[in-house]
Amino acid sequence: MRKVHVLSEYISALCKRGLLVWANGSCALDAEVSDITFDDREAAQGTLFICKGARFKEEYLRRALEKGAFAYVSEREYGCSDKCIKVNDIRKAMAYIARLYTDGAADRLRIAAITGTKGKSTTAFFVKSALDAASHGKCGMVSTILNYDGGTAAEAELSTPESVTLYKYFAKALENGMEFFVAETSSQALKYDRVLGITPEVGCFTNIGRDHISPAEHADFEDYFTSKLKIFDMCRYGVINSGMEFFDRAYACAREKCEKVYTFGKNESDDVFCKDVKVCRGVTKFTVRAPYFEREFTTRMRGGFNVENALAAIACCAAMGIDAGAIAEGIAATTVPGRMEIFESEDGRIKAVVDYAHNGMSLCALLDAVKREFPGEPVVTVFGCPGGKAPARRREMGEISAKLSALTVITEDDEGEEPLEDICAEIARSVKENGGEYVVITDREQAVKYAVCGIDGAKTVVLAGKGRETHQRRKGGSVKVPTDADYAKKYIAEYDAAHKAAHV
């Protein structure tokens, strides 16, 4: 059972970390902290409330206090100064508050942290499946796709939750009997201290590309890369893709920070080395040589890039000393909802591929895999780009789709407050400049319908970016929508019905 701490203990923890500016003497120092939160909707009696975020409004604090929060942590003093604990860095403070609140639960889990520009979600699922096989299902996770605490599985909102939420996942997982935990770790989580205070057994860096560069994310590539490298500040063992760009710099950083570093890839000098890759009827077999085993592995995850993701996971598990048989069992059993899911019409002329690919690197890898999987068939690619961040994606994804698709269908993808028409116009300009054909259909469902049913002939339709996400972020907020998989099944069924009717 989690130990309940009093307010003075939180103040002391902040002071020891050099984060405390002052605490008002009127604060109830001996009061027990029954909960911590940064969301006023969750506040109740005994809550310690955290005022965080550039968009924080004083009314949030007022509502939290009305609901029973008895003290608040903030970088500035608000009207109710008698309840204020002032700090010099709210994000660092929030992480250490969360660590104390959960009584160090993260220290009692064997954690694998995974970062990279592409492939980290799939790698996380491979690792989880292998650790589940080794522990009879005792592995929790947080990821872009799914969060699991050993009792409840829920669709994710962020790749890596805020520190308060993340630490509570660790505590709940421990309470539910979990022994392992896989944490997909975004550059934003590393930059803004969401994972501060956590000591993963292994930290994996899959690759690096030029993404997430915008005023709202990373100012430039150096900031993005430096943020990613922070994963090695945390972990005992480092795992790095020897084929990644800037490998030498990443390896040098890991060697300096980690107890031991494992490389993985297709070089015989790698610690975890892959060879003899064979693909037959949707099943990929490959041989892996690692420090304490050499054996064949099998995966049903389609796409050559998933061999690299599986190899990253094998390297993580090898660094943790997991039994080779359990690793193989887990890799063979891995499925990832919304990752290269393939739906096919009854006559085989229409294939729809659903995937979360949402940047230039991942879309290129996806379309290359699709062309190898279905050679000779024209590819129709449906995608959009999010509003308010990573504007370079629009140019990059437009260029890649123009070069690898017969037609690009440009549509919505979490445009938020930015005008959807402007986003689509930027993508369209890139497609056109690179010699591609395109059509703009802003309603995502109608875009899928057109791609599947509105174009004659055999084809492969690639639905990129949303996978099995059930929400679309539009102006005014998030709305619930069917997934791309739902759309694919719906309009392939419509195609099948029309095709049968035409041949009656």
Q: Are 472 and 479 in contact (CB under 8 A)?
A: yes
In-domain check, residue 2? no
| DSSP per-residue string spanning 177-217 | T--EEEEE--HHHHHTTTTTT---SEEEE----S-SBSTTS
pTM: 0.87
Same domain, 278 and 147: yes
232-271 pLDDT, tens digit each: 999 999 999 999 999 999 999 999 999 999 999 999 999 9
Handedness of CA 457, 494, 414, 155 (dihedral sign): negative
260-319 pLDDT, tens digit each: 999 999 999 999 999 999 988 779 999 999 999 999 999 999 877 899 999 999 999 999
CA distance 46 to 32: 7
Helix, strand, coil percentages (3-state) for the chain, rounded to 5, are: 40, 25, 40
Same domain, 164 and 300: yes
Same domain, 401 and 381: yes
Same domain, 118 and 135: yes
In-domain check, residue 1? no
* CATH number assigned to the domain comprising residue 307: 3.40.1190.10
Same domain, 247 and 352: no
Q: Are 489 and 343 in contact (CB under 8 A)?
A: yes
What domain count does the chain have?
Answer: 3
Handedness of CA 9, 10, 12, 13 (dihedral sign): positive
183-195 pLDDT, tens digit each: 999 999 999 999 9
In-domain check, residue 149? yes
Same domain, 138 and 25: no
Same domain, 36 and 114: no
In-domain check, residue 210? yes
Same domain, 178 and 302: yes
Question: According to the model, what pLDDT value does residue 503 have?
Answer: 64
Residue ranges making up the domain that contains 471:
341-502
What are the residues whose beta carbons fall under 8 Å from the beta carbon of 116, sequence distance 6 or more? Answer: 123, 204, 205, 206, 207, 208, 228, 241
CA distance 187 to 214: 13
Q: How big is the chain by its Cα radius of gyration, in Å? A: 24
CA distance 94 to 85: 12
Regarding predicted confidence, which is higher, 210 or 183?
A: 183
CA distance 373 to 341: 13
Give, as one character, the DSSP assignment of residue 53: S
126-138 pLDDT, tens digit each: 999 999 999 999 9
User: If you search the block for the tokens 């260029």, which residue do you land on?
Assistant: 399
CA distance 14 to 17: 5
CA distance 25 to 320: 47
> Which among 154, 159, 158 has a CA at the least distance from the CA of 118?
159
CA distance 77 to 86: 7
Residue 15 in this model has a pLDDT that exceeds 80: yes
In-domain check, residue 391? yes
Same domain, 315 and 397: no
Tell me the residue ranges of DSSP E strands in 24-172: 35-37, 47-50, 71-74, 84-87, 110-115, 139-142, 146-148, 153-155
Handedness of CA 221, 223, 228, 232 (dihedral sign): positive
59-104 pLDDT, tens digit each: 999 999 999 999 999 999 987 778 899 999 999 999 999 999 999 9
CA distance 299 to 274: 14
CA distance 476 to 192: 26
Same domain, 323 and 459: no
Number of Cα atoms under 13 Å in the Cβ half of residue 421: 0
* CATH number assigned to the domain comprising residue 45: 3.40.1390.10
In-domain check, residue 411? yes
Tokens of 176: 């539910």
Question: According to the model, what pLDDT value does residue 214 have?
Answer: 72
CA distance 99 to 17: 13
Instruction: Give the residue from 295, 311, 333 where a domain finishes.
Output: 333
* CATH number assigned to the domain comprising residue 486: 3.90.190.20
Same domain, 154 and 287: yes
Average pLDDT over residues 191-208: 96
Same domain, 242 and 258: yes
Mean of pLDDT over the chain: 93
399-424 pLDDT, tens digit each: 999 999 999 999 999 999 999 999 99
In-domain check, residue 402? yes
In-domain check, residue 259? yes
Residue 504 in this model has a pLDDT that exceeds 60: no
436-470 pLDDT, tens digit each: 999 999 999 999 999 999 999 999 999 999 999 99
Instruction: Give the residue from 66, 101, 136 where a domain finishes.
Output: 101
Residue 213 in this model has a pLDDT that exceeds 90: no
Instruction: Give the residue from 333, 361, 391 where a domain finishes.
Output: 333
